[in-house]
Chain A
Amino acid sequence: MAGSLNNPARVLKPARGANKSVRVRPWRGVVLVCAGLYFLVPLAASVVFTVDVPNQGITFDAYRQIVSADGFGSSLLLSLELAAATIAVVLLLMVPAMVALRLGAPKLRPVVEVICSLPLVVPPIAFVAGIATVLKWGPEHLSRTPLFETFVALQNPDFPVVLVLAYVVMALPFVYRALDAGLRAVDVRTLVEAARSCGANWPQALVRVVLPNLRGALLNASFLTLALVLGEFTVAQLLGFQPFAVWIYSVGGSQAQLSVAVSVLSLLVTWALLLSLAGLGGRSRSASASRG
C-alpha cells in the first residue's frame, strides 16, 4: 500500500522543481554564457589557428601531417600499450584487495585507504625525483649484481616498465575511489552469500555475481587510468621516455600548427572516450540514481 502510494509523489517532485525554476533568473544565463565563452573560445581559436595559416589561407595540412609525422605512431602506440598494462596491473591489484576488504578483512580497510591516498600527497614531480634517484643506484652501486639487469629491463625504451610502475601508483587514488563507490552501492557480502546459498562456489560467486555488478565502477576506474596515462607528461619526460604527451611537446617547438592540431585531436579523443564510457556505464548509473 505504502509502496504504491509513493509513486505518484515521485512523479510530482520533479514537476515541483520545474515550477520553481519558472521564475526567471537572468544571472544564470549570464554565468552560463561567460563560462561558455571562456571554455569554448580557446578550443575554437585552436582550430582556427591550425587551419588558418598565415600566407596560406585555409588549409588542413596540419591535420594531414599528423599521421605521417615522425614519431606520431610509435609514441601513440607506446602510450596505449602503457595504458593497457597500467589498467591491467592496477585492476589485478585493486579488485581482489577491495573485494576482500568488504568480505574478509575489514580491519585492513583504513590501512588500504591511507596507502591508496598517499600518492595524492606526493606530487608527480616529487615522485619522479625519487624514482630518478633510485634508478641512479643501478649504475652506481649495483653494476656487478644481477639486480642491474632488472634495472636495465625496467628502463627499456621500447616498453619502459618503470613507467607502468609509476602510473599504477599514480592511479591508485582514483581507482580506489571508483571501486569504493561501486562496492558501496552493491553490498558485496549479501550478494556473495546469496550466490553461495544458490550453490555457487567462491570463484563463481566473484566472477558471475560480484564483477558484473561492479561493471560501472570497473569501467570508471579504467577510464580514469586511461586518461591519466594518455595525458601524463611529467614522469615520462623527466625519465627520458617519449610517449604521446612528450611527443606533442617535442614537436611543439618546431611545428606549431601540428602540435596544436594534435592537442585539439587529443581533447576530442578524451571526450569521445568519456562519452562512450557514460554510454556503457549509463545503465548502472541510472540504476543507482533511482535508488537515491
Chain B
Amino acid sequence: MTVTTLEKAADAKAATVEFRGLRREFGPTVALDGLDLTVRPGELLALLGPSGCGKTTALRMLAGFEHPDSGEVLVDGEDVTRVPAHRRDAGMVFQSYSLFPHLSALDNVAFGLRMRKVRTAERRSRAAELLDLVGLADKGERFPHQLSGGQQQRIALARALALRPRVLLLDEPLSALDAKVRLTLREEIRRLQQELGITTLFVTHDQEEALSMADRVAVMRAGRLEQCAAPAELYGRPATAFVAEFVGTMSRIPGRLDSGVAEVLGQRLPVDGDAPAATEIDVLVRPEAVRVRADDAGTARVVATAFLGAATRVTVRLPDATEVKADLPTHEAAGLGSGAAVTVSLPERPVLVAERTQ
C-alpha cells in the first residue's frame, strides 16, 4: 500500500541524468578527465572502478557537493551545475556514519521534511511510512548508536527517500558492513529501487556488487569512462583490457599476433574485436574458458588448487613461468594435485588480446 503511493510519486518523474565533459582537478590529481555518461530513467547504474578513479567525485557532483572545473550535469535536460546542494532533488546514502547522532531514527528520516517546514503530524506519519518501507517500523525511537550498521544504512536509505527525490545516490553504502548483511541489503536496495522505479546511481569498487545489482555498469578508470554496458556484456565482451581484468578474473597468456590471428598454446585463434598493432601480445582468458587435462607428457604443472564448491580453481604454471587460472568441475580436478603434469588449451573461439605489458 505505502509502496504503491511512493511508487507512483517517483514513477511520474523518473529522471534522466547526463554528465557532459566533466572535469575536475584536486591540485596535481585529476579526479575527472572529461566524463560523459547518461543514466536512463528508472535504471540502476553502478559506477565501478578502483578507488581514486573519480566515481565518487562524479556522484558528489550530482549531489552538489563538488563543482566541476568544466562540463555540466543535467537532470532531465536541465543544467543543475550551479544549483546549491540543498536545492538539488537527489537523495544520497553515504558510506557510513551519516545519521545524525542526536536524533532518533524517526527524526533522522523526518529531518528533510522538517527543513521543508512540513507539519509535525504529517512528517511523522510519512517518516513512519518510510521506516516501514525499509523494514524498521519498530525501531523509530532508537538512536543511531543503538542500531547495527545494517540498520543504520536502512535508516539512511529511508532518509534519502523522504523528500521523494528524482534521483537516488548511493556512495558505497555497503562497504562498511559485514559480508552477510551486505548480501541481504544488496537485494533489498535493488527491490526498493525497482518498486519505486527511481533513477539510481550506485558507486562501488566491488565488481560482484555492481554486476549483481545494476541494470548497467559504468567502469571508470583515471577519471574517464572505460565502458558502460549491461553486466553480461561487460563480462562477456569487455571493451578494453582494463575492463576485462577489472571485472572478473582474467589470466594473461603470452602469444603472437600474425595477420589478425593469435598464436597461443600451439593453437591459432581468431581475434575478437580490434587487434592491436603489436605482434607480441597477451591473450586474455577467463578461468572457465581454460581447459586443463592431466597429461604425463604435459609441460605445464599444477601449482595450487582452491576448492570453490561445484568448481575447483586450479592454478597452472606454463613452461615460460606464466600462471594461468582455470575453473574445473570439482570431480575433474580431483586427480590434479600440486605438481601434477597437465596440458592447457583454449576453446576454438575468438579470443581477446592485449598488448604485452611487460
A and B in direct contact, judged by CB atoms within 8 A: yes
Which residues of A approach B to under 8 Å, CB–CB? 5-9, 11-12, 15-16, 18-19
Q: Which residues of the other chain, B, contact A15 by a CB distance below 8 angstroms?
A: 26-27, 29, 31
**Is B98 positioned at the interface, with any CB of A under 8 Å from its CB?**
no
Tell me if A19 and B205 are in contact (CB < 8 A). no
Q: Which residues of the other chain, A, contact B66 by a CB distance below 8 angstroms?
A: 16, 19
Give Cα distance in the complex from A6 to B51, angstroms. Answer: 7
Binary contact track B5-41/A, C-beta < 8 Å → 1, others 0: 0000000000000000000001101010000000000
Residue of B29, B31, B52, B205 with most chain A CB atoms under a 10 A cut-off: B52
Binary contact track B308-320/A, C-beta < 8 Å → 1, others 0: 0000000000000
**Is B71 positioned at the interface, with any CB of A under 8 Å from its CB?**
no
Tell me if A16 and B50 are in contact (CB < 8 A). no
Tell me if B31 and A12 are in contact (CB < 8 A). yes
Give Cα distance in the complex from A19 to B31, angstroms. Answer: 12
The 7 A-B residue pairs with the shortest CB-CB distance in the complex, in nearest-first order = A8-B52, A15-B26, A9-B51, A8-B51, A5-B51, A5-B50, A12-B52
Give Cα distance in the complex from A15 to B27, angstroms. Answer: 7
* A–B complex contacts, Cβ < 8 Å, 27 sampled: A5-B50, A5-B51, A5-B205, A6-B51, A7-B51, A8-B50, A8-B51, A8-B52, A9-B51, A9-B52, A11-B29, A11-B52, A12-B26, A12-B29, A12-B31, A12-B51, A12-B52, A15-B26, A15-B27, A15-B29, A15-B31, A16-B26, A16-B66, A18-B26, A18-B27, A19-B26, A19-B66
Give Cα distance in the complex from A15 to B26, angstroms. Answer: 6
Taking A9-B51, A9-B52, A16-B26 as known contacts, 4 extra A-B pairs with beta carbons closer than 8 A to each other, sorted by chain A number, are A8-B52, A12-B31, A15-B29, A18-B27
Q: Give B175's nearest chain A residue, CB to CB.
A: A2
Give Cα distance in the complex from A16 to B56, angstroms. Answer: 11
Q: Which residues of the other chain, B, contact A19 by a CB distance below 8 angstroms?
A: 26, 66
Q: Which residues of the other chain, B, contact A5 by a CB distance below 8 angstroms?
A: 50-51, 205
Give Cα distance in the complex from A11 to B26, angstroms. Answer: 10
Q: Which residues of the other chain, B, contact A6 by a CB distance below 8 angstroms?
A: 51
Shortest B222–chain A CB gap in Å is 10
Give Cα distance in the complex from A9 to B56, angstroms. Answer: 10
Give Cα distance in the complex from A11 to B27, angstroms. Answer: 11
Binary contact track B47-82/A, C-beta < 8 Å → 1, others 0: 000111000000000000010000000000000000
Residue of B26, B27, B50, B66 with most chain A CB atoms under a 10 A cut-off: B26
Give Cα distance in the complex from A19 to B60, angstroms. Answer: 13
Give Cα distance in the complex from A11 to B50, angstroms. Answer: 13
Q: Which residues of the other chain, B, contact A11 by a CB distance below 8 angstroms?
A: 29, 52
Q: Which residues of the other chain, A, contact B205 by a CB distance below 8 angstroms?
A: 5
Give Cα distance in the complex from A12 to B26, angstroms. Answer: 8
Q: Give A15's nearest chain B residue, CB to CB.
A: B26
Shortest A9–chain B CB gap in Å is 4
Q: Give B54's nearest chain A residue, CB to CB.
A: A12
Give Cα distance in the complex from A12 to B27, angstroms. Answer: 10
Binary contact track B83-117/A, C-beta < 8 Å → 1, others 0: 00000000000000000000000000000000000
Q: Which residues of the other chain, B, contact A7 by a CB distance below 8 angstroms?
A: 51
Q: Which residues of the other chain, A, contact B50 by a CB distance below 8 angstroms?
A: 5, 8
Q: Give A17's nearest chain B residue, CB to CB.
A: B26
Q: Which residues of the other chain, B, contact A12 by a CB distance below 8 angstroms?
A: 26, 29, 31, 51-52
Q: Which residues of the other chain, B, contact A9 by a CB distance below 8 angstroms?
A: 51-52
Q: Which residues of the other chain, A, contact B51 by a CB distance below 8 angstroms?
A: 5-9, 12
Give Cα distance in the complex from A9 to B57, angstroms. Answer: 11
Give Cα distance in the complex from A8 to B51, angstroms. Answer: 6
Shortest B92–chain A CB gap in Å is 15
Residue of A9, A11, A19 with most chain B CB atoms under a 10 A cut-off: A19
Give Cα distance in the complex from A12 to B222, angstroms. Answer: 13
Give Cα distance in the complex from A16 to B205, angstroms. Answer: 19
Q: Which residues of the other chain, B, contact A8 by a CB distance below 8 angstroms?
A: 50-52
Give Cα distance in the complex from A9 to B49, angstroms. Answer: 12
Give Cα distance in the complex from A6 to B50, angstroms. Answer: 9
Give Cα distance in the complex from A44 to B29, angstroms. Answer: 43
Q: Which residues of the other chain, A, contact B52 by a CB distance below 8 angstroms?
A: 8-9, 11-12
